Amino acid sequence: MPDYQHHWKDGTPVHLPLGKIVCIGRNYAEHARELNNPVPDEPLLFIKPSTTAVHITRPIDFPRDRGEVHFETELAVLIGRPLTNASASEAQSAILGYGLALDLTLRDVQSKLKEKGQPWERAKAFDGACPLSPFVPVEKLQQDHLAFTMDIDGQRRQSGDTRDMLNPIVPLIAHMSSHFTLLPGDVVLTGTPKGVGELRSGQTLTLELEDALFLQTKVV
């Protein structure tokens, strides 16, 4: 697997090590409903290891012998300073940049794990399970809300807006830091909107974040 390194949109490297990738499940109510899942009372957190990260613009590959692999498009947040039991203002100041990510999920595997009440790592933490985009510096995206989209072969599949999150970004990061320390180079994935579905060979994916980031990738 190629080595992953954080990069800025202009291609320059971010001089931080890749750490853990901290995720939230069911942060958009309509996505929870489309999978017949209850909306949790508190943030539903899980972690992808660093070995899941790959550059999103490289051809996407995934296991072919474990059932359906689903895409979940998410806003990604790059953490720039240590956070432990952070306040909202501390969490806000730790945001270094924003990007996009695919939280690839072995859906059949996940369904079996959920039926047994077991953790999701086998479905979420395989090598290459987190294609990541370059990041846009936070100062270039100072807005009240952020919107992103994902198209497959020219058809809109997902549209996300931070205003629709059940747990907004800054309180979410503060909450995460109360359970485990976030370090510079860690990435926070903020949940996926409705519209998730199966990835198939030959598809072309187009992702956009506001007018600040545009990229395409293919499924091998």
Mean pLDDT across the chain: 94
Instruction: Say if residue 2's pLDDT is above 60.
Output: no
Q: Where are the domains of the chain?
A: 21-218
Per-residue pLDDT tens digits for 36-93: 777 788 999 999 999 999 999 999 999 999 999 999 999 999 999 999 999 999 999 9
CATH of domain 21-218: 3.90.850.10
Is residue 32's pLDDT more than 70?
A: no
Token output for 144: 């009240």
pLDDT digits over 157-203, tens only?
A: 999 999 999 999 999 999 999 999 999 999 999 999 999 999 999 99
CA distances from 183 to 94, 116, 131, 180 (A): 10, 33, 20, 10
Rg value, the chain, Cα: 16
* Other C-beta atoms lying within 10 Å of the C-beta of residue 74: 26
Q: What is the pLDDT of residues 91-138, one digit of tens each?
A: 999 999 999 999 999 999 999 999 999 999 999 999 999 999 999 999
Whole-angstrom Cα distance, residue 95 to residue 170?
Answer: 9
pLDDT of residue 1: 46
Predicted confidence (pLDDT) per residue in 164-177, tens digit:
999 999 999 999 99
Q: Give the pLDDT confidence of 142-156 residue by residue, as tens digits.
A: 778 999 999 999 999
Give the pTM. 0.95
